[in-house]
Amino acid sequence: MQAVDGGPPLLSHNARQAMNPASAMKLVTTYAALEMLGPAHTWRTEVLADAGPVDGRVNGNVYLRGNGDPKLTLEQFWLLLRQLRLHGVREIAGDLVLDRRAFALPAHDPGEFDNQPLRPYNAGPDALLVNFKSVRLLLQPDPAGKAVSVVAETPSEGLRIDNRLRLASEPCGDWREKLQVTVSGLRIELGGAYPAACGEQALNLAPWAADVQLEGLFRALWRELGGRFSGSVREGAAPANARTLAVQESAPLAELVRDINKYSNNVMARQLFLSLDSERPATIEGARRQLAAWLQANALQLPELVIDNGSGLSRNARISAAGLAQLLSAAWQSPLMPELIASLPLAGVDGTLRKRLQNGPTAGRAHLKTGYLEGVRAIAGYVLDNSGKRWIVVALINDANARLGKPALDALLQWVAER
């Protein structure tokens, strides 16, 4: 605990010990990105072709080239394809070629971290990441019919839902853990009990490899837009002389860091971390090197820092409480301080702190990044006390029973706010 305007720490305990910060590591990634890339930085996703359309028909291939957009959602992808239609393309006679060469990455195992390969937060980074590689299903209980209906909210050609859910009368609780999800090809089978008390819930899944997911989404949206396509979807490179037909530009970085920090979006953080590497193709090692160079240039000495993917979804990531406090102190003095602070969850108000610290002196007075893994609890950010003085507060717990430390962390924050 340290005043934002400097001076010795008011509290310090094991401050230099390297600890796993879980998602508090996103503070390193997002602050570095704001400084290195600039708050107005954007990413472009492009549609190119061998030649322009003739009477609405592209006779060669069409290329979809990604540059690592952290948030190319369903809506943004639809807008890109709509641009293509508005530019006169009605039919694609060749193939759709996916160009993801902006990143050079090792193979990613989505089940490696926690044996939950279908969870969207386990999706790996991808230069052409569309809709977080996920599909969204709506589960709707029908008490009168004693059944549960499933609606695929994300369009995907060929998707088949095998609904074997049974309606249950038990309390809602952790409803997702009660589901049994099996994926076979383009078929998703849902089984188990779904409590009627849950009402309508969204089930987000990442059931397929990136190319399969993107192909299903493209074919469905292109057909909805009135387009025709009979070719195949494959990975490849856009030729140097390919003609640009449509471009979708992302929101600026200053907006995207809000999603990353407030909702602790791991996939977006992985994408952003790779974007720290200005070389092409970007690599994880390149991002680490450029981050290290930036830290050194700004006299930020974090010798204990171990950063592997930038999201904190890691068993190997390490930083100290003093290291995070040093980063937060530098951020407070930065011209980009407002952008970073606005991206942090506000206690009792929004993001990962919406239902935490709702009552008491901390509510609405603490901007904090949280961290949560099995065996890890963390908070790091800024707290405004009752006298109007702002403090940097960092607390990290690494222990098999770390979950039991949450009341202590909350008590610390309330004590700071009451000063």
pLDDT in tens, 326-364: 999 999 999 999 999 999 999 999 999 999 999 889 999
Structure tokens at 17: 């010990």
Residue 128 lies in a domain: no
User: Do residues 306 and 367 both lie within one domain?
Assistant: yes
pLDDT, tens digit, for every residue of 148-177? Answer: 999 999 999 999 999 999 999 999 999 999
Predicted confidence at residue 145, as pLDDT, reads 87
Residue 127 lies in a domain: no
Residue 114 lies in a domain: no
- What is the 3 state secondary structure string of 141-202? EECCCCEEEEEECCCCCCCEEEEEEEEECCCCCCHHHHEEEEEECCEEEEEEEEEHHHCCEE
Q: Are 135 and 205 in contact (CB under 8 A)?
A: yes
pTM: 0.95
Q: The domain spanning residue 299 has which CATH number?
A: 3.40.710.10
User: Do residues 177 and 261 both lie within one domain?
Assistant: no
Query: What DSSP letter does each residue of 2-42 carry, written as one string?
Result: EETT-SS-S--SSTTS-B--GGGGHHHHHHHHHHHH-TT--
pLDDT, tens digit, for every residue of 114-153? Answer: 999 999 999 999 999 999 999 999 999 999 889 999 999 9
User: Do residues 263 and 371 both lie within one domain?
Assistant: yes
Residue 111 lies in a domain: no
Residue 173 lies in a domain: yes
User: Do residues 28 and 94 both lie within one domain?
Assistant: no
pLDDT, tens digit, for every residue of 202-219? Answer: 999 999 999 999 999 999
Q: The domain spanning residue 83 has which CATH number?
A: 3.50.80.20
Residue 33 lies in a domain: yes
Predicted confidence at residue 48, as pLDDT, reads 98
Residue 125 lies in a domain: no
Q: Are 346 and 366 in contact (CB under 8 A)?
A: yes
Q: Which of 148, 178, 205 is the last residue of a domain?
A: 205
- Split into its structural domains, the chain has a count of 3
Predicted confidence at residue 176, as pLDDT, reads 94
Look at residues 380, 243, 258, 260 and name the one whose alpha carbon lies nearest to residue 309: 260
**First CA to last CA distance, the chain:** 12
User: Do residues 63 and 159 both lie within one domain?
Assistant: no
User: Do residues 338 and 286 both lie within one domain?
Assistant: yes
Residue 164 lies in a domain: yes
Which residues form the domain of 175?
A: 135-205
* Residue 419: pLDDT band with limits 50, 70, 90: confident
User: Do residues 148 and 32 both lie within one domain?
Assistant: no
User: Do residues 54 and 178 both lie within one domain?
Assistant: no
Q: Which of 143, 173, 205 is the last residue of a domain?
A: 205
Q: Are 67 and 280 in contact (CB under 8 A)?
A: no
User: Do residues 273 and 226 both lie within one domain?
Assistant: no
Q: Which of 220, 249, 278 is the last residue of a domain?
A: 249
Q: CA angle, 314 as apex, 308 and 317 as ends, to 5°?
A: 55
User: Do residues 309 and 167 both lie within one domain?
Assistant: no
User: Do residues 71 and 167 both lie within one domain?
Assistant: no
Predicted confidence at residue 87, as pLDDT, reads 93
User: Do residues 201 and 303 both lie within one domain?
Assistant: no
What's phi and psi for 352, nearest 5 deg? -75, -5
Instruction: Calculate the CA 111 to chain-centre distance.
Output: 17
